[in-house]
Structure 1
Amino acid sequence: MSKESALREQIVRIGRSLHLRGLSPGSSGNISARLDDGWLLTPTNACLGELDPADIAKLDWNGNHQAGKPASKEAFLHRAVYEGREESGAIVHLHCTHSAAVSCLDCLDAKSCLPPLTPYFVMRVGRLPLIPYHRPGDPKLGEAIRGLVGRHSSVLLANHGPVVSGKDLEAATYAIEELEETAKLYLLLRQQPVRLLNDEQIEELRQTFGAQW
């Protein structure tokens, strides 16, 4: 099986898993993966739980459609991440409930939307900056993201949801799942006294695991 065929199959498996667990309701969310000669992206208006490997769009680095069904209207968003973060091999964007809920709050630190509640959030996600609201499909969103992804593997789109990149599909999926769980913890713990990881503990994670905090 070629690398491209294997990635198509993996996108289908991951999409189905995310959908079955309620992390991508309806036809929301999209998944992409880098290839040597371009990249793969889930189709527009596609349910992640019902993907067909052959339908997944293939685009070149100029954004031209090469194969499969028409790509998600948020293709520019993925392209901006790949262009700004060369180490990214895959991207997952979801409208998962708790992360989307956090993205609607009016009290967020735009430089880091979620605090260091757990070591796994610090290790897999790191600081999570907020991207100001843009309507879905607005090309200006790509420019806003491009300015941050060189320093951050994950961003939160205001009133929308998270965009997470990783070295491969597995890493990006694990990271966005960790982000969603941390968002859930954050909402559960609001109005409660919380013990965060301190600077020394975070530095230990940086030195041991390369955390990006």
Structure 2
Amino acid sequence: MTSKLREEICKIGQSLYARGYTAGSSGNISVRLPDGGWLMTPTNIAMGDLDPAELALIDAQGRFVSGPKPTKESFLHLAMYRHRADAGAVVHLHSTHAVAVSMLEETDPDAAIPPLTAYAVMKLGKVKLVPYFPPGDPALGDAVAAVAGKHHAVLLANHGPVVAGTDLRAAQYASEELEETAKLLFILRDRRYRALTPDAILDLQHRFPS
């Protein structure tokens, strides 16, 4: 089981890197283990260079157990897991369009990604914008923890998205949907466009309950 999860983390990371969803050594991935611990990508390594044998193992109390040092942003992942019993995996990216949306003055902090498509509603729900804190600041983890119970996708101001899913693929696909919806927003930004209506959103929520 663990070896399969290790391979899947690396496969997803390499795919995200190859398609430009993350660059340099930015971004990180984690998965919850059956014993309550976690596997996390290591610090200072590009997602395109991930090795299944070189992932950090964290125990159920959040303590480092073995492998390379975990991502410096592990506290973001743990904030999600500790407030979402349904979270089986977390993906954090510095994806270009999502970061750009987080910097716009007009971005709604309670719905940072507008409901442009059905899949944005189905996979993301309402995306909360979390205020800016310096990278590594414990207050950033506290800010994510404060909203994680109601939002499985959050956008860190001037930083990037943190997305939880029931498993690795769900977290990956939701992260991709967030970035692609952000991209659509910029394509449409100088034009009048129709977002989904409140009635359409309610219909989707009834058809596809989370």
TM-score range, shorter chain: over 0.9
Corresponding residue for 2:198?
199
Pick from 18, 21, 34: which aligns with 2:19?
21
Corresponding residue for 2:140?
141
Stretch deviating more after TM superposition (55-64 or 9-18): 55-64
Tell me how far 1:191 sits from its aligned partner: 2.3
Alpha-carbon RMSD across the aligned residues, in angstroms, is 0.8
Aligned equivalents of 2:96 and 2:209: distance in 1?
29
Stretch deviating more after TM superposition (38-47 or 59-68): 59-68
Query: TM-score when scaled to structure 2?
Result: 0.97
Corresponding residue for 1:87?
86
Identity of aligned residues (%): 53
Tell me how far 1:61 sits from its aligned partner: 2.4
Q: Structure 1: which 5+ runs fail to align?
A: none
Tell me how far 1:210 sits from its aligned partner: 1.2
Deviations 1:33-78 (A, max 9, x none): 0002200100001110001111100101222111210000111110
- The one-letter code matched in structure 1 to 2:30 is S
- The one-letter code matched in structure 2 to 1:115 is P
Q: Which runs of 4+ in 1 moved over 3 A?
A: none
Q: What pairs up with 1:1-213 in 2 under 5 angstroms?
A: 3-37=1-35, 38-210=37-209
Aligned equivalents of 2:50 and 2:185: distance in 1?
32
Report SS of the residue matched to 1:162. Answer: strand
- The one-letter code matched in structure 1 to 2:148 is V
Deviations 1:136-183 (A, max 9, x none): 111111111111111111000000000000000000000010110000
Query: TM-score when scaled to structure 1?
Result: 0.96
Q: How many residues align?
A: 209
Report SS of the residue matched to 1:148. Answer: helix
Report SS of the residue matched to 2:53. Answer: helix
Q: Structure 2: which 5+ runs fail to align?
A: none
